[in-house]
Amino acid sequence: THCQCILDTAINANFEEIQNFLLHFWQGMPEHLLPLLDNPVIVDVICASDQILYKVLTDVLIPATMQEMPENLLADIRNCAKHWEHWTASALENLPDGMAER
């Protein structure tokens, strides 16, 4: 559901909300689940899911055909891409090191 929420939000061009979804998901993780994030297999599954999400986002937001795109939408996509790494790093603060390193 987390990946679907991010994808839906991007499709609706509500890029500022993506940061909120990232923070809510990672910082809202129940304490009893945090030890799972030290397990390399779990971390690998999360990384694979993230890679699929990034690929789909890229395919959706940057179409293969060069079609006309409103300038403000293009600026919003660029802004989202520019801040993505910072948003993710902020969301992963205070989580097990193995998760934040990947």
Contacts 24+ apart (CB under 8 A), 31-38: 34/95, 34/96, 35/96, 37/95, 37/96, 37/98, 37/99, 38/96, 38/98, 38/99
**CA–CA distances in Å: residue 32 to residues 4, 13, 20, 84:** 24, 34, 22, 27
| Residue given tokens 């179409």 in the structure block | 63
pLDDT < 70 regions, the chain? 64-67, 100, 102
Question: How high is the pLDDT of residue 64?
Answer: 59
